[in-house]
Amino acid sequence: MLDSRLRGNDEGGCLMSFMPVVLWSDALVFLLLAAGIAAAWYVRRREHLLLPWQRVAHNSVAMASLLVLSLFLAVGLLDTLHFRMALPQANGGEKVYSSEVLSVFDKLVGPLRTHTEKTYSEPFALTLYAKESMTDAQGNVARDYPRLQYGGAHLSDASQRVEDIWKRALAGGGLGLLVGLLSFYLTHRKLHCASGCDRAVSIATLILTTLIGAIANLAAVYHVLGTDKVGQDVLYLSLKSIRTGLIIGTVTTLVTLPLALFLGVAAGYFRGWVDDVIQYVYTVLSSIPSVLLIAAAVLMMQVTIDTHPQWFDTAASRADLRLVFLCLILGMTSWTGLCRLLRGETLKLREMEYIQAAQSFGVSSLRILTRHIMPNVMHIILIALVMDFSALVLAEAVLSYVGVGVDPSMISFGTMINAARLEMGREPMVWWALAAAFGFMLVLVLAANLFADAVRDAFDPRLNRTESKA
């Protein structure tokens, strides 16, 4: 099927054989990316803003984590470029597009997506997990573990398996290592990282490229992490989950950031009734236990989505809108904390003498807020942003388990765990999907936590007091 599509592409020549699709969450991701690049460009030219980032850059753990994170980010971004393939049959000159929304990432890892087995199979297995009745060439019916359609299909004999795995792992790993070394050789002269982190980051890079090489080589012919109930490759599912996790982790904070920033700073600066109203709003919101508020909101959203099926042209856009709403709802429950922090900091800042100096010039309140207060609370926002990220990734899994998370059709760590959990009782246990989901989540969250720590250390003025005075 994949081949025929590719051929269609070739024959079509200049004709568009696919239609780019921008889902809501994609748009938000692009927006975020643009904002991130703009911010980086802005910071680059300002030495005092660059300074804390240089401190982060000197931290080898942070840089190694960043490397892992950017790898996840790359997968997530590739998975964000969505499109719909044109179907081969044209409908009266007009192109008909498949209702299936694919991403560039799906294309890149083609076989992983399309090589689905019948049901469960263990990692690196050659056979299915359950016995089936099979009819052999002689017409005898026997119950045995059937061979997988794709996993290890190139092997004629099961006894070659271990040797083949090692060979492929070594070959792939070696190639990965080579690519890693080569990239070092090419970039080393241009990039000179701080002396301390240089080595740690190099080692981390080499380990990662080796690992990726080995896995890529193996994944082509095996199900490295096994398959799930409907025979989908677990590695593919895990990689697809990354985008969901990343979106929950970043979009959530960012959609509500303007709200928290504006309200928090306004409450702290203006005091009086403005403060009273804003405080009232966030006390009301934060007094409802967040899981319950999320549950209630998600339940209601579900009703709305279910009663308006006409809004969505594909299943993906439906699941996607649910994801965006989930982000909004999560954001609604979490902005209060940041708002309170910002209000407190603004209360402190408004007593600073430079604010009073500005006031004595008659500088307008809006200008004081944007020129004096906001730049001086940015570190709090940044710290909150990176600290919240991992908590949100973890929360997604829990919420999906509770049934108020992402759409069940959307691939995420939560839905993976939820599906795998039901099979806990099986003998022998189906452990790989669970392990894969937890493992990927651990790596992502751990890297995020380590990076967040470094960012906090670098930006928190209380921790850098001595340095700033010297």
Partner 1 sequence: MNLLKVDKLVTRLRNGAAIVDGISFEISAGETFALLGESGCGKSMTALSLMRLLPDGVANAGGAVQLDGAALFDLPEHDMREVRGGKMAMIFQEPGLSLNPVMSVGAQIAEVLALHHDLGDAVANARCVELLDQVGIPDAARRVHEYPFQLSGGMKQRVMIAMALAGSPTLLIADEPTTALDVTIQAQVLRLLRDTQDKLGMAMLLITHDLGVVAENAHRVGVMYAGQIVEQATREQLFAKPLHPYTQKLFAALPDARRSGQPLSAIPGSVPPLGSIPQGCRFAPRCDKAWSLCREQTPDWTMVEGRGVRCHLYQDTGYRIRDTDARSPLPLAGEGLGERGDFLNPVSRIPNPLLQVSDLQVHFPIRKGLLQHVVGQVKAVDGVSLAIPQGRTLALVGESGCGKTTLAKALLRLLPATAGSVQFDGKELIGTGAARSSMQMVFQDPYASLNPKMRVAEILEEGMSALRIGADSAARQAQIDGLLDKVGLARDSKWRYPHEFSGGQRQRIAIARALAVSPQLLICDEPTSALDVSVQAQILNLLKELQQELELSYLFITHNLAVVEYLAHEVCVMYLGRIV
Partner 2 sequence: MIAYLIRRILYAVPILIGVNLLTFALFFVVNTPDDMARMQLGIKRVTPEAIEKWKQQRGYDKPLFVNSAVGGTDKLTDTIFWQKSASMFVFDFGYSDDGRSIGREIAKRMGPSLAIALPTFLIGLIVYVSFALLMTLFRATALDMAGVALCVLLMSISGLFYIIGGQFVVSKLWHLVPISGYAGGADSFKFVVLPILIGIAGGVGSSSRWYRTIFLEEIGKDYVRTARAKGLSELRVLFTHVLKNAMIPILTGVVVVIPLLFMGSLLTESFFGIPGLGSYTIDAINAQDFSVVRAMVFLGSVLYIVGLILTDVSYTVVDPRVRLQ
Q: Is 326 in the site for partner 2 (CB under 8 A)?
A: no
Cβ closest to partner 1, residue 304 vs residue 356: 356
And the tokens for 277?
């109203």
DSSP 396: H
Interface residue with partner 2 among 71, 104, 220, 285 (CB under 8 A) is 285
Answer with the entry of partner 1, partner 2, none that 289 interacts with (C-beta below 5 to 8 A by kind): partner 2
Among partner 1, partner 2, none, residue 104 binds (CB under 5-8 Å by kind): none
375: part of which helix (H) or strand (E)? helix 374-402
Size of the residue set binding partner 2 (CB under 8 A): 46
Burial of 14 (0-12, 13-18, 19+ CB in 10 A): exposed
Nearer to partner 1, 449 or 464 (CB): 464
- Is 421 a binding residue for partner 2 by CB under 8 A? The answer is yes
Interatomic CA distance for residues 349 and 343, integer angstroms:
10
Cα 343 from Cα 370, distance rounded (Å): 15
Of 39, 74, 303, 357, which lies in the binding site for partner 2, with binding defined by CB under 8 A? 303
Q: Look up residue 467 and give its two tokens.
A: 């340095």
**Contact status: 442 vs partner 2 (CB under 8 A):** yes
Interface pick for partner 2 out of 16, 50, 74, 300 (rule CB under 8 A): 300
* Neighbour tally for 252: CB within 10 Å: 27
Give 149's DSSP letter.
Answer: S
Question: With respect to partner 2, which residue has the nearer C-beta, 36 or 439?
Answer: 439
Verify binding: residue 283, partner 2, rule CB under 8 A: yes
Tell me if 293 contacts partner 2 by CB under 8 A: yes
273 versus 361: smaller Cβ distance to partner 1: 361
Stretch of 35-43, 129-137, 376-384, 440-448 contacting partner 2, by CB under 8 A: 440-448
Q: What are the CA-CA distances from residue 200 to residues 124, 194, 204, 241, 456 (Å)? A: 32, 11, 6, 28, 21
What is the binding site for partner 1 (CB under 8 A)?
Answer: 47-49, 352-354, 356-364, 367, 371-372, 375-376, 466, 468-470
Are residues 26 and 103 in contact, defined by beta-carbon separation less than 8 angstroms? no
Report whether 343 contacts 267 (CB < 8 A): yes
Report, in Å, the least distance between residue 367 CB and partner 1. 8
Q: Which of 91, 140, 287, 310 binds partner 2 (CB under 8 A)?
A: 287
Of 91, 148, 106, give the one whose Cα is nearest residue 237.
106
Q: How far apart are CA 439 and CA 271, in angstroms?
A: 47
Between 48 and 189, name the residue whose CB sits nearer to partner 1.
Answer: 48
Tell me the C-alpha distance between 187 and 182, whole Å. Answer: 9
CB under 5 to 8 A by kind: which of partner 2, partner 1, none does 446 bind?
Answer: partner 2
Closest to partner 1 by CB, 131 or 371: 371
Report how far apart, in Å, the C-alpha atoms of 457 and of each of 48, 387, 447 are.
16, 12, 15
Q: In terms of CB distance, is 216 or 443 closer to partner 2?
A: 443
Q: What share of the chain is helix, strand, coil (3-state, %, to 5)?
A: 70, 5, 25
One of 68, 349, 381, 434 touching partner 2 (CB under 8 A): 434
Partner whose binding site includes residue 360, from partner 2, partner 1, none (CB under 5 to 8 Å by kind)? partner 1
Give the per-residue contact string, 239-258, with partner 2 (x = CB under 8 A; - = no).
--------------------
**DSSP per-residue letters across 241-285:** HHHHHHHHHHHHHHHHHHHHHHHHHHHHHH-HHHHHHHHHHHHHH
For residue 268, give every residue at least 6 positions away whose Cβ sits within 8 Å of its Cβ, in sequence order, or none: 275, 342, 343, 344, 345, 346, 347, 349, 350, 373
Stretch that binds partner 2, among 207-215, 229-237, 361-369, 402-410 (CB under 8 A): 402-410
For partner 2, the binding residues (CB under 8 A) are 280-281, 283-289, 291-293, 295-297, 299-300, 302-304, 306-307, 390, 394, 397-398, 401-404, 413, 417, 421, 424, 429, 434, 438, 441-442, 445-446, 448-450, 453, 462
